[in-house]
Structure 1
Amino acid sequence: MIQHEQLNKLVANLTVLYTKLHSFHWYVKGSSFYTLHEVFEKYYDHVTETLDEVAERFLAIGGRPVSTLKGALEIATIKEATEKETTVEMVAAVLADFELLIADASALIEVSEDANDQGTADLALGLKTELEKNVWMLKAYLDR
């Protein structure tokens, strides 16, 4: 089922993003350290909540979310951090990851509505809305 594939991909991407944001939180340096250290923490806290909501929704509709790092890495389209990113590269990577998740959420909304699953569509819409706000802020930080 396409909806289950989309949900599992979202679970995998959120899992990888959670770890990536932790890496950025720990390794950020420079004049933006205090600001970005807190922002990355805010983001990984939000990803934790979102991951749990998405996985529980997936279980509620009869799915089996990926629950191992190995499994998540096999499915995810978000790439791991390298621990070598500069501060600007970190922000740009998070921006790109959020844009990828917006596309994933949009696809999930569509397939969920086609499946007459408004609960999942609403969950994806909430995620998309939050990510769009974060993208706007990250673009402003990078002055794009």
Structure 2
Amino acid sequence: MTTEMLTQTDAQAANLTKVLNKQVANWTVLYTKLHNYHWFVKGSDFFTLHAKFEELYTEGAGYLDELAERILTLGGSPVATLKEALAVASIQEANGGESAAQMVESVFADFGTLISELNDGIAIAEENHDDATADMLLGIRQSLEKHNWMFRAYLGK
């Protein structure tokens, strides 16, 4: 393997780690946001949304760990502090005081952002011939697409 090929491979691996770290950062922020919504949701849909937000942050915790461990497997370092996560994430924290409908709209939008970024990550993983990472990201995307289908129905969209 030539030095040029090694450099390209290193650059590709760094790009893939960057994509995965954005997901780690997003899930770190989203994990806290979903807890906020779980604790503070009010109204006639309290029982439904309280349980749904718990389901989602539990699912997200699994993704967070899986993504971070994949980065470590690839020889990278996952984002591991709240400060780093907030600096890297495209997902924003909860504002506080959101209505139940605003909470659902926010999670729906966040999942849309994640789906788009997962599509980019899948393409990069495939370019790197990293089927394991592409498959992992595809599985996460599939779950988020299903959640967003349900949120669309909930929101009457």
Which TM-score band (shorter chain)?
over 0.9
TM-score, structure 1 normalization: 0.99
Consecutive unaligned residues in structure 1, runs of 5 or more: none
Alignment-mate amino acid for residue 27 of structure 2: L
Q: C-alpha distance in 2, partners of 1:29/1:11?
A: 29
Q: Which residue of 2 aligns with 1:86?
A: 99
Does residue 31 of structure 1 match 2:44? yes
TM-score by length of 2: 0.91
Give % identity. Answer: 50
Matched, 1:130 2:143: yes
Corresponding residue for residue 4 of structure 2: none
Superposition pairs for residues 1-144 of structure 1, below 5 Å? Answer: 1-144=14-157
Q: Which runs of 5 or more residues in structure 2 are unaligned?
A: 1-13
Q: What is the root-mean-square deviation in Å for CA atoms of aligned residues?
A: 0.5
Counterpart-to-counterpart distance in 1, 2:106 and 2:84? 22
Per-residue deviation at 1:83? 1.3
Paired with 1:84 and 1:3, the residues of 2 have a C-alpha distance of 36
Q: Which has the larger radius of gyration?
A: 2
**Separation of aligned partners in 2, 1:85 and 1:63:** 37
